[in-house]
Amino acid sequence: MIKKRLLSILFFYFVLFQGVFSSETNIYKKIDLFGEVLEKINREYVEEVNQSESMDSAINGLLQSLDPYSAYMPPEVFDEMQTETSGEFGGLGIEVTMESGVVKVISPIDDTPASKAGIKAGDYIVKINNIQVQGKSLSEAVDLMRGPVGSGIELTVRRRGEKKALIFNVVREIIQIQSVKADLLEKNIGYIRLTSFNENSGKQIERKIQELEKNKAVNSYILDLRNNPGGLLSQAIKISDFFLNNGEIVSTKSRKVSENRKWFAKKGDVINGKTLVVLINYGSASASEIVAGALKDHKRAILVGENSFGKGSVQSIIPLKNNGAIRLTVAKYYLPSGKSISEVGVSPDIEVDEEGEEFRIKTETDNQLNYVIKLLNG
């Protein structure tokens, strides 16, 4: 009996470790294959190859095969990214990702060269200064768009509904991000425009609302999240909580069940239950979708505009030994209803599309905002 039991245990471990060894052997074979391919390229390719750049491209290819948001940042790119998060940097003023081998605009930032030139959320940048983007990594494409402040750049863009490519000539500027703007519309509507979720966004919105609330004529609010590519999760939770008295705001689910989290609203509505309309469009992504989705699920706000982008994942910046880093998707967002935002986005309660090539947010050509004003004032 004992002998049979020992044989059973030995057989179990043999099968178990055979699977482990088999898996490891396959990985080592793939690594050997990669080395062989790299050696063949270095010896046989028609032109001399920069081995360091080839390795960077291979690492980036591995990460981008996972999803459009995971990427490798060489030391110089990681250093530039840390500089840019300080709130002032040189560039065009667009948030981008990679899709089908070309650069896709998530959203242009308000009052930046890209926004002023007419670049729109959902545009595909296919050429940069007449250089094809197809085949390049996101970091390589971004490098092509960088340059001295005051210098010009030509972008060739493909846009939904347009048969011909569009050409935009843009001049690079210092990008200063003012994330919160407020205004009083029609003497009774509090208007809050949020362009990104940075570390001060919640405090700024709270201050703007307090100022607007001093006017007793204010009976409704508009929260404008159009062309807001997102930002800090903590600020999305804080801003959602401003308008909710209770209930779940958002949850994240990761590979490790122990790291799954949920966030809930605390009692207190900063606008005291007044009517709230949230404006969204295809450029509303990530943290914007968390706020819009939470307020919609709790029936606290009416959503007007277009379907949002559909970026419902959490990325972590993980530093590497070479002073570079990887941006890796580590979790996904879920709305209070349990729905994932990824690739789906948040749909508006009332769909109102942008009208005309001259459309600009919060101008006379802003038909979406004009619709909401009429909706609120009957």
Residue at which a domain ends, from 124, 153, 175: 175
Task: Find the CATH number of the domain harbouring 212.
Answer: 3.90.226.10
Catalytic residue, candidates 286, 288, 308, 313: 286
pTM listed for this prediction: 0.77
Asked whether residue 171 falls in the same domain as residue 191, the answer is no
Asked whether residue 171 falls in the same domain as residue 186, the answer is no
Cβ distance 32 to 111 under 8 Å? Answer: no
Catalytic residue, candidates 297, 308, 313, 366: 297
Instruction: Measure the CA–CA gap between 332 and 324, rounded to whole angstroms.
Output: 24
Domain assignment present for 285: yes
* Tokens of residue 7, six digits: 């044989």
Asked whether residue 106 falls in the same domain as residue 188, the answer is no
Domain count for the chain, please give it: 2
Asked whether residue 287 falls in the same domain as residue 305, the answer is yes
Who's near 69: CB < 8 A, 6+ residues apart? 97, 311, 313, 315, 327, 329
Mark whether 286 is an active-site residue.
yes
Asked whether residue 208 falls in the same domain as residue 355, the answer is yes
Domain assignment present for 13: no
Asked whether residue 368 falls in the same domain as residue 239, the answer is yes
Beta strands in the chain (DSSP E): 71-73, 88-91, 94-99, 102-108, 124-128, 131-132, 152-158, 166-171, 173-176, 180-185, 189-194, 220-224, 248-254, 261-264, 275-280, 302-305, 313-319, 325-334, 350-351
Asked whether residue 239 falls in the same domain as residue 265, the answer is yes
Mark whether 353 is an active-site residue.
no
Residue at which a domain ends, from 175, 202, 229: 175
pLDDT tens sequence for the chain (378 residues): 544 454 444 444 444 445 545 666 788 888 889 889 888 998 999 998 888 888 888 888 899 889 888 989 888 888 876 655 444 556 898 989 888 888 999 989 888 899 999 999 999 999 999 999 988 888 788 888 888 888 999 999 999 889 999 999 999 998 777 789 999 999 999 999 999 998 889 999 999 999 999 999 999 999 999 999 998 999 999 999 999 999 999 999 999 999 999 999 999 999 999 999 999 999 999 999 999 999 999 999 999 999 999 999 988 889 999 999 999 999 999 999 999 999 899 999 999 999 988 898 999 999 999 999 999 997
135: domain range? 71-175
Catalytic residue, candidates 123, 196, 311, 313: 311
Task: Find the CATH number of the domain harbouring 159.
Answer: 2.30.42.10
Instruction: Measure the CA–CA gap between 18 and 16, rounded to whole angstroms.
Output: 5
Asked whether residue 129 falls in the same domain as residue 261, the answer is no
Mark whether 366 is an active-site residue.
no
- Closest-CA residue to 109 (of 229, 201, 222, 279): 229
Domain assignment present for 5: no
Domain assignment present for 47: no
